[in-house]
């Protein structure tokens, strides 16, 4: 145990005492916010300014009716009688965002035509459809001799206030935007940290193997002590980083959260943070063991990458499937991924975050992961013991698994 403790301490210092660890700890939360929350907030709340669109074939009355509401949305509509060739020249010179062609009789004719130099922004298209459509509809109602105010009141949509009922029977107000953002953020955080620290162990083993330092280390400690020391040492460093991130997040949401709109995000309970640590550790031990085994069998870092890519593909799958997982956390697809051991660390935590899965599903998922981790660590230790001293040979996956028979 004393030797194992020393290996753990050595690996912890090798990670936590580096400049890269300190920099990543400081900028990590900002990177996650930059990749998830900020773009969504910008797309929701930022108005496009300085969008100039020329309108041809528009009557002065219609232009006067639709220009003010469009200006409030950041769209300046300019009435123009220039031919299409001149307008297209202005597009190429970036003097206009686009030009809108009105039919001769907009009250009965087909759709308008928007011509742009770049792919049209759907928000601009939808904004113009809403404003112009409302004005045209009001004019049609007026010409029919009806009261547009009464008609609008009759056809106004019904608002729905979404609430979620928990297993305790309480009703909680839900915010789809908040839950999607926090779900994506934690999905990325688990994926990035599990992959980063898992690959770090694999690279560390390869570097020590190719530099022949592992032979010196094995003269003092056993293969299992070296393997477990690397895994537990880097796990301790990663937990330290998680604790610092959570502290920074709590401080940040209180100080600058309201200015960025982050106060809309749901508050994380203590149980949620404990689940975060639990599923991170399960995922970390699982993938760290796999990467350590591959590192022991790999000839160099390039060979390690070739051996690891199937595992990385499985690990990235919950990230690319984050949308369906967050919006339908109780679907058969989500439940299966939350029980499948290679995807469960991320998917089950996300399900807990955005829904209220049954307790038996959580316990079953944790039990499957613990059993899988135990089996994988035992198999990884066997590959590690045989492969750590084998140099000069490039293994493929089949040959790596054949080491289990030796």
Whether 248 and 378 share a structural domain = yes
Whether 19 and 66 share a structural domain = no
Tens-of-pLDDT digits for all 406 residues of the chain?
777 777 777 777 777 777 777 887 777 767 766 665 556 555 554 444 568 899 888 888 888 888 888 888 888 888 888 888 888 888 888 888 888 888 877 777 668 888 888 887 787 888 888 888 888 888 888 877 777 777 777 677 666 665 655 555 555 555 555 666 666 777 777 788 788 877 788 887 777 777 767 667 766 777 777 777 778 887 888 888 777 877 776 676 666 555 555 555 555 677 877 888 888 888 888 888 888 888 777 777 777 777 788 888 888 888 888 778 877 888 888 899 999 988 998 889 888 887 888 889 999 999 999 999 888 888 887 777 776 666 656 666 666 666 666 6
What's the pLDDT score for residue 360?
92
Whether 255 and 335 share a structural domain = yes
Asked if the structure places residue 162 within a domain, the reply is no
Alpha-carbon distance of 403 to 31, in angstroms, equals 40
Whether 28 and 85 share a structural domain = no
Asked if the structure places residue 164 within a domain, the reply is no
Whether 70 and 194 share a structural domain = no
Dig out the tokens for 172 from the structure: 């909680």
Whether 23 and 74 share a structural domain = no
Asked if the structure places residue 159 within a domain, the reply is no
CATH number, domain of 72, equals: 3.40.190.10
Whether 25 and 108 share a structural domain = no
Whether 289 and 388 share a structural domain = yes
Q: Check residue 161 and report its DSSP letter.
A: -
Are the CB atoms for 388 and 372 separated by under 8 Å? no
Whether 135 and 203 share a structural domain = no
Asked if the structure places residue 160 within a domain, the reply is no
Alpha-carbon distance of 67 to 404, in angstroms, equals 74
Asked if the structure places residue 188 within a domain, the reply is yes
Side-chain-facing half-sphere of 193: CA atoms under 13 Å: 33
- In the listed set 122, 154, 186, which residue is the last one of a domain according to the structure? 154
Whether 31 and 95 share a structural domain = no
Q: At what angle do helices 359-387 and 332-339 cross, to 10 degrees?
A: 40
Range of the structural domain that residue 227 is part of = 2-41+171-405
Whether 272 and 331 share a structural domain = yes
- Return the residue matching tokens 């939808």: 126
Q: Check residue 343 and report its DSSP letter.
A: T
Total of domains in the chain = 2
375: CB partners within 8 A, 6+ apart: none
Asked if the structure places residue 227 within a domain, the reply is yes
Whether 351 and 316 share a structural domain = yes
Asked if the structure places residue 99 within a domain, the reply is yes
Q: Check residue 342 and report its DSSP letter.
A: T
Q: Determine how many CB atoms are found less than 10 A away from the CB of residue 169.
A: 6
Q: What angle do CA 365, 347, 29 make, to 5 degrees?
A: 130
Asked if the structure places residue 204 within a domain, the reply is yes
- In the listed set 93, 126, 154, which residue is the last one of a domain according to the structure? 154
What's the pLDDT score for residue 47?
46
Alpha-carbon distance of 42 to 60, in angstroms, equals 34
- In the listed set 154, 183, 216, which residue is the last one of a domain according to the structure? 154
Q: Determine how many CB atoms are found less than 10 A away from the CB of residue 196.
A: 14
67: CB partners within 8 A, 6+ apart: 77
């Amino acid at each position: 145990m004393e030797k194992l403790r020393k290996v753990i301490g050595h690996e912890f210092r090798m990670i936590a005492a580096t400049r890269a660890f300190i920099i990543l700890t400081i900028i990590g939360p900002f990177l996650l916010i930059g990749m998830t929350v900020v773009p969504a907030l910008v797309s929701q709340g930022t108005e496009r300014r300085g969008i100039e669109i020329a309108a041809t074939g528009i009557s002065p009355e219609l232009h006067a009716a639709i220009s003010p509401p469009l200006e409030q949305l950041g769209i300046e509509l300019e009435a123009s009688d220039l031919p299409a060739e001149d307008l297209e020249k202005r597009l190429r010179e970036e003097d206009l965002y686009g030009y809108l062609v009105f039919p001769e009789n907009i009250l009965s004719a087909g759709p308008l035509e928007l011509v742009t130099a770049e792919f049209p922004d759907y928000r601009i298209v939808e904004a113009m459809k809403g404003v112009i459509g409302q004005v045209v509809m009001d004019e049609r109602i007026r010409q029919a001799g009806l009261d547009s105010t009464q008609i609008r009141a009759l056809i106004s949509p019904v608002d729905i206030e979404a609430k979620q009922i928990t297993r305790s029977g309480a009703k909680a107000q839900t915010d789809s935007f908040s839950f999607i953002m926090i779900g994506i953020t934690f999905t990325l955080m688990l994926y990035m940290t599990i992959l980063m620290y898992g690959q770090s162990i694999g690279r560390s083993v390869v570097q020590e193997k190719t530099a022949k330092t592992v032979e010196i280390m094995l003269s003092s400690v056993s293969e299992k002590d070296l393997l477990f020391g690397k895994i537990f040492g880097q796990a301790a460093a990663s937990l330290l980083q998680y604790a610092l991130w959570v502290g920074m997040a709590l401080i940040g949401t209180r100080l600058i959260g309201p200015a960025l709109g982050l106060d809309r995000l749901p508050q994380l309970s203590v149980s949620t943070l404990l689940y975060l640590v639990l599923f991170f550790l399960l995922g970390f031990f699982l993938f760290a063991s796999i990467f350590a085994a591959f590192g022991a069998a790999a000839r160099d870092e390039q060979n390690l990458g070739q051996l690891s890519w199937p595992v990385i593909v499985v690990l990235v799958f919950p990230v690319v499937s984050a949308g369906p997982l967050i919006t339908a956390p109780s679907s058969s697809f989500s439940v299966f991924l939350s029980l499948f051991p290679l995807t469960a660390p991320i998917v089950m935590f996300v399900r807990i975050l955005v829904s209220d899965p049954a307790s038996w599903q959580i316990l079953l998922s944790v039990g499957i992961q613990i059993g899988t981790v135990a089996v994988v660590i035992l198999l990884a230790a066997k590959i590690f013991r045989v492969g750590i001293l084998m140099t000069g040979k490039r293994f493929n996956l089949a040959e790596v698994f054949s080491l289990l028979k030796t």
